[in-house]
Chains A and B, each alone.
Chain A
Amino acid sequence: MILRSRHLLGLEDITAGEISLILDTAESFREILDRPIKKVPTLRGITVLNLFYEPSTRTRISFELAEKRLSADTISFSTSVSSVKKGESLKDTVRNIEAMKIDMVVVRHSSPGVPYFLTNCVESNIINAGDGAHEHPTQALLDMFTIRRKYGKLDGLRVVLVGDVKHSRVVRSNIWGLKTMGASVAVCGPSTLLPYEVERFGVDVYTDLDEAIDGADVVNIMRIQLERQQAGLFPSQREYTNLFGMTKERLKRLKRNYTIMHPGPMNRGVEITPEVADSKSSVILDQVTNGQAIRMAVLYLLSGKKEKEKEEDDE
């Protein structure tokens, strides 16, 4: 099994075999993080550009560390201190940086489709680190990796994604990935935060959290985007917490060996109570550690993949 594409743009078009390959590879890379010297020379000589047009703590640090642990050279680009301020376009920015001989680009942008757009501008391998409300493939991969490490499988599990389904790229990537791997997926949130025709993703849709989580194995809680509150998508934070906040009482509805997840950053006391976030069944910090293994696996598997150089040399 190999990855068909030389980019990772999203999970919508990725097969179960490809996801399994990434997760299996991540399993091997996870071990490196427990070594005294957490570094292997695999990507020596490869230069990776981290192009972040949107703020990020976890994803960016995680990618940077993954690159360094593989011995790649990294440059991190942040829009606030660059010529973007002087009005340089995205395309020009990337092409100029690529002219300095880079091999891979990790990109986050507020507009959906930017990673795809870049594949047509430059030769580098492109990895999507979140594009608007479209996809965030490495986050969904690390979520699946974390679930698989606990249960040994993904198929047959019931996973509920709670919160701002409409604006969440994490939800979208998770739906596609989890469904490909045979999990049963439900989404739950206030109707103003559910996209139109969300059923067409092939998921169960709930506006009542208690109903949604009944008998679920995994609850993945999305951040409620407080900065959007002015838009009047829900009446008040308190009401949201009452209706959609994950509390200790609600945990009783889940299956015995349940798991609580959150991609971060958390609003403690809003979508999740501190006692749930810090409980034994919460794998929120494991997600962060596993994220590095996933990103190392993706960087490794894509590195060196070139444009159409591939003839019919299948093994």
Chain B
Amino acid sequence: MTKPQEEILLDDRKITRAIARIAHEILERNSGAESLVLIGILTRGAYLAKRIAAQIKEIEGADVPVGLLDINLYRDDVHSKLDQPIIQRTEILFDVVDRNLILVDDVLFTGRTIRAALDAIVDFGRPRSIQLAVLIDRGHRELPIRPDYVGKNIPTSRDDRVLVRLSEKDDREVVVAVKGGLKKAEKKSGKKADGESSKKGGTTK
């Protein structure tokens, strides 16, 4: 998968620093880790949520529960696709009621994924607050949604594709922008690649 015009936005060290900063900001805003729960949006938001939790543990020594959320069942474009996306397992094994819930995703783009995630979360209970942490905010919102914690703001063209690669799942740790990559991807697969690569191959862990 060699693509032309890949521009590196964050390297591995910058990703680590961004996550550390987000962890500090979350603790500051919520006056500690006590009321917190983290929910990562599958697939890569889940890895980021686990990393933030590990950071919080390092800073405060507190264990923050981490949940995993698959938002595909709440998408608004399910019926416009020919084949349904693979559903991964949602795992929220704790009560979200009255907690400060931090929703974590890799790239914030149109905001539609987050809209779906908010719908999903309210089916699990009523958190005191829901805050949004993303590694990359690339703009082009289609809904009134904004992040509370951002690793990096990156102005992009609508057709660019932003790819987050994390060592837990991929062979490298980097964030890249591919010029015009979304146009190509959309034409090819007939679906919007929301900054994330297509999910393939059964249950991933």
Which residues on A sit within 8 Å (CB–CB) of B125?
A: 36
Distance to closest chain B CB from A47 (angstroms): 12
Query: Could you tell me the distance between the alpha carbons of A46 and B78 in the complex, rounded to whole angstroms?
Result: 11
Flag if A41 contacts B74 (CB, 8 Å).
Answer: yes
A-B CB contact pairs (8 Å), 18 listed:
A2-B83, A25-B86, A28-B70, A28-B88, A28-B89, A28-B203, A29-B87, A32-B73, A35-B124, A36-B123, A41-B74, A42-B75, A300-B84, A303-B79, A304-B82, A313-B82, A313-B190, A315-B200
Residue B29 interfacial (CB < 8 Å): no
Report the minimal beta-carbon distance from B75 to chain A, rounded to whole angstroms: 8
Is B30 an interface residue when CB atoms closer than 8 A count as contact? Answer: no
CA distance A62 to B134 in the complex (A): 40
Tell me the chain B residues, 88-135 only, with Cβ under 8 Å from chain A: 88-91, 119-120, 123-125
> What residues on A are CB-neighbors of B91 within 8 Å?
31
Instruction: State which of B90, B119, B203 has its C-beta within 8 Å of the C-beta of A24.
Output: B203
Closest residue of chain B to A20 (Cβ to Cβ) is B202
- In the complex, are the beta carbons of B124 and A45 less than 8 A apart? no
A109: Cβ under 8 A from any B Cβ = no
Complex CA–CA separation, A1 to B87 (angstroms): 12
Contact at A1–B82, with CB atoms within 8 Å? no
Q: Is B4 an interface residue (CB 8 A)?
A: no
A304–B84 contact, CB under 8 A? yes
Chain A residues in contact with chain B, CB under 8 A?
Answer: 1-2, 20-21, 24-25, 27-29, 31-32, 35-37, 39-43, 45-46, 300-301, 303-306, 309-310, 313, 315
In the bound complex, how far is the Cα of B44 from the Cα of A44, in angstroms? 27
Cα distance, A27 to B201, chains bound together (Å): 14
A31 touches B90 (CB 8 A): yes
User: Are B198 and A40 interface neighbours, CB within 8 A?
Assistant: no
Tally of B interface residues using CB under 8 Å: 29
Note all chain B residues with C-beta closer than 8 A to A313.
Answer: 82, 188-190
Report the separation of the CA atoms of residues A257 and B180 in the bound assembly, to the nearest whole angstrom: 56
Q: A28-B70, A41-B73, A313-B190 are in contact. Are A305 and B82 (CB under 8 A)?
A: yes
Set of chain B residues within 8 Å of A28, measured between Cβ atoms? 70, 87-90, 203
Task: Say whether B3 faces chain A, with CB atoms less than 8 Å apart.
Answer: no
Which residue of chain B is the closest to A71 with respect to CB atoms? B73
CA distance A228 to B188 in the complex (A): 56
Closest Cβ of chain A to B80, distance in Å, is: 8
A49 → B minimal CB distance (Å): 18
Is B205 part of the binding interface, using a Cβ–Cβ cutoff of 8 Å?
no
B78 to chain A: closest residue by CB:
A42
Contact B189 A304 (CB under 8 A): no
- Which of B70, B73, B78, B91: most chain A CB closer than 10 A? B73
A25 contacts across to B, CB distance below 8 A: 86-87
Q: Is the CB of B201 within 8 A of A1?
A: yes
**Does B81 reach chain A (CB closer than 8 Å)?**
yes
* Smallest beta-carbon distance B179→chain A, Å: 22
Minimum distance in angstroms from B145 CB to a CB of chain A: 18
Q: How far is the CA of A43 from the CA of B75 in the complex (A)?
A: 10
Closest to A315 in B: B189
Q: Among residues 150 to 205 in chain B, which have CB atoms less than 8 Å away from a CB atom of chain A?
A: 188-190, 198, 200-203
**Residues of B contacting A43 with CB < 8 Å?**
78
Complex CA gap A118/B4 in Å reads: 50
Interchain residue pairs A-B with the least CB separation, the first 8: A28-B87, A40-B73, A37-B123, A42-B73, A2-B83, A24-B202, A28-B89, A24-B203
Chain A CB within 10 Å, residue with most, of B90, B124, B198: B90
Q: Kindly identify which residue among A27, A39, A315 contacts B89, using a CB–CB cutoff of 8 Å.
A: A27
Contact A315 B198 (CB under 8 A): yes
Are B78 and A304 closer than 8 Å at their CB atoms? yes
> In the bound complex, what is the Cα–Cα distance between A308 and B87 (angstroms)?
24
